[in-house]
Structures are given as structure tokens and as C-alpha cells.
Amino acid sequence: MDWLWQIFDPANIGAFFIQFKNEMTTPTFWVAVGKIIWINVLLSGDNALVIALACRGLAPRQRLWGMIFGAAAAVLLRIIFTGIVATLMGLPYLKLVGGLALIVIAAKLLVPEEEDEDSVDAAAHLWAAVQIVVVADIVMSLDNVIAVAAAANGSVPLLVLGLAISVPLIVAGAALIMALLNKLPILVWAGAALLGWIAGDVIATDPAVQPRLDALFAGPLGARLDSLLAAFGAAPHFANGGNGGEILLAVLGIIIVLIAGSIWRRRSLQKAKHATEAA
């Protein structure tokens, strides 16, 4: 975590820019920048999806700011979490809590936003959307930060530059996904289901959950499930340390998100209907 303090310590800001100036003159620096940008393009699709889902209910003039702030927050978290997430995610039950939070976020994204032209409420909705993006990105950042940290190879300027350049790429991806969501509303449900899958997978890899899953499927249950899969021509996934438990929890995450989101959405629509009738 030493590099994290270097970023925020005013005494080291000058040294940071000197290091940046020296490193950017080498070809390897720009090759590494390209690697970091490409990693973010490949791994930031889920973040662009969250941004698009969270901002779709904003007023048109608020959507661009929501995407920009959401992407900037996501990248800032990447910079910070590269030094601490890998350590924190090794703590028992932290991924479990994060996965459950992501399930709630995914279900909430299925609830239609209440339309309100008041500027104060619009600003509140904007920051609520950004908060959704921030919380979701905390949960989903592990794969990104590990890959980016490896590409940066300990260089702080390289890490910051590569991630900063990624902001417009995430915004562009979110804008494209939002356009598709407006054309095909069914994709909102598909996006929520994807977040449910990610949440289930995060929970399954929690240090406190994964050993219990392995123990559960290491015995006769795992063997029976693999035999059932073999009958359908599928490869075994449960016994002998397979990833069947992760897949099972990921599918369960999808089911929970869709059911909870449907109930939440129906109640919200009924509440809005009653409010309209009362008015």
C-alpha cells in the first residue's frame, strides 16, 4: 500500500510527476499503457452495464453527467483498490456481504424510476445513480485491479494514466448500452440477471464460503450431480474440486435477482398507480 500514500502525500507529488516524466519517454511505458487500456476494455463491460442501468432513469440532461461521474468514480476506485482490494477480499465474509449488496443493487435496477421534473430531485437521483455505480464497482473490482496492477508492474504514473484514459472508454460503452436498453427494454432484465450471476460468483469465492462448497460437493452429492451431467453429455463440474458450486450459486444469484426484482417492481408500479388515482 506504499504507492497509495505516495499519491495522496503532498510531499511526494513533485516526485510523482518527475517519475511520470522520466517513464513516459520509454517505449515500454506506452506498451504497458496500452495493456492497461485493453485490460479495462475487456474487463469493464460489467461496469459500463451498471452505469447504463443506473442512469437510464435520469432526465436526458442528467444522463451524461451520471455516466461521466460514474465512470470517474469507477476508475478512481480502481486506483485506490489496486493496493487494498486484494488484501481486503481475502477476509472471510467480506465477499459474501459484497455479493449480497450486489444482489440488492441488481434487483433495484429493475424498479422503474419515478419521474420528477424538480431540479433538486433530479440532482438527488443523479447522485443516487452514482452511488449505485460506486457500490457495485466495489464488489466487482477484484478481477480488474489484479490484472491492472500486474500490467502496471508497480509504476504509479503508469497505473494512473492507464486508468484515466479508460474513463472515456467506459463512458462510451455505457452510452452504447443505454441506447440498446432504450430500444430493447428486455435487456434491462438480462443486465440484472448478469449482475445476479456476478454476485453469486463473488459469494461462492468468499474465503468462508468456498471451503464449505468444496466440502459439500466433495462427497456423494458431487458424484451424483456429475453422473447426472454425464447423462446429458456435459462435463463433470462438482466432484474433485470442480467449479460446480460457483456455477450453482451464480445461477441462484440470477434467480434471486429476477424474483426479488419482479416483486419490487410490481409493488413500485402498484404504489405509483395508487398515487396517480389518489391525485
pLDDT, tens digit (0-9, with 9 covering 90-100), for 180-215: 877 888 888 988 898 889 889 889 888 888 888 888
Residue range 69-75: average pLDDT? 75
Among 37-46, 97-106, 204-213, the range scoring the smallest mean pLDDT is 37-46
In angstroms, rounded to a whole number, what is the distance separating the alpha carbons of residues 206 and 99? 9
Whether the predicted model's global pTM rises above the 0.75 cut:
no
- The more confident residue out of 272 and 46 is 272
Residue 254 reports pLDDT greater than 90: yes
Residue 120 reports pLDDT greater than 80: no
- The more confident residue out of 18 and 42 is 18
Cell of 8: 495522496
Residue 1 reports pLDDT greater than 80: no
Q: What is the percent of the chain where pLDDT is above 90?
A: 7
Cell of 22: 522520466
Q: Which residue has 460437493 as its cell numbers? A: 217
Dihedral sign computed on CA atoms, order 258, 264, 267, 272: negative
In angstroms, rounded to a whole number, what is the distance separating the alpha carbons of residues 22 and 40? 24
Residue 68 reports pLDDT greater than 90: no
* Amino acid occupying residue 105: I
Query: Which residues, in sequence order, are CB contacts of 162 under 8 Å at separation 6+?
Result: 32, 33, 35, 36, 37, 40, 148, 151, 152
Residue 116 reports pLDDT greater than 50: no
- Model confidence over 76-100: pLDDT tens digits? 776 666 556 555 556 788 788 878 8
CA distances from 216 to 207, 208, 212, 213, 223 (A): 15, 13, 6, 5, 11
Residue 122 reports pLDDT greater than 80: no
Considering the chain, what is the average pLDDT of its residues? Answer: 75
- The more confident residue out of 98 and 234 is 98
pLDDT-based confidence at 142, cuts 50/70/90?
Answer: low
- The more confident residue out of 10 and 207 is 207
Cell of 193: 440477471
